[in-house]
Amino acid sequence: MPYEFSGEVWYWRGPAPFYFVTVPDDVSVELQAASSFVSYGWGMIPVSVEIGESTWTTSLWPKGHLYVVPLKAAIRRAEDIEDGDVIDVRLEVGSPTAP
């Protein structure tokens, strides 16, 4: 089942800096219910992500009671995404070995 939402891009300045978009409450609740069937550890959920013309596979990271989508640098460049942009995201839950 695909999930679609809009969210603001934010930058995490930790030891391994990265950009993310937070999955909204209602979608996170649904994903958490499915996580026991698809998670491969630490609460990570494998997904296929579509933003603009770009599609890739990654894993959602749990952050508190929500999930976050990590945004690869190549995707951010291809879609001209900057910190603070509000972007449209489409997720589809998949297996950790999904292409």
Q: What is the pLDDT of residues 44-93, one digit of tens each?
A: 889 999 999 999 999 999 999 999 999 999 999 999 999 999 999 999 99
What total number of domains does the chain contain?
Answer: 1
Range of the domain at 32: 2-93
- C-beta separation of 94 from 47 below 8 A: yes
- Domain membership of residue 99 (yes or no) is no
The residue assigned the tokens 């695909």 is 2
**Model pLDDT, residue 96:** 46
* CATH classification of the domain holding 60: 2.40.30.100
Backbone dihedral region of 95: left (phi > 0), alpha (psi from -120 to 50 degrees) or beta? beta
- Domain membership of residue 81 (yes or no) is yes
Q: Which two tokens stand for residue 63?
A: 């952050």
- Farthest CA pair distance, the chain: 35
pLDDT tens-digit series, residues 41-58:
677 889 999 999 999 999
Phi, psi of 76 (to 5 degrees): -60, -40
- pTM as predicted: 0.85
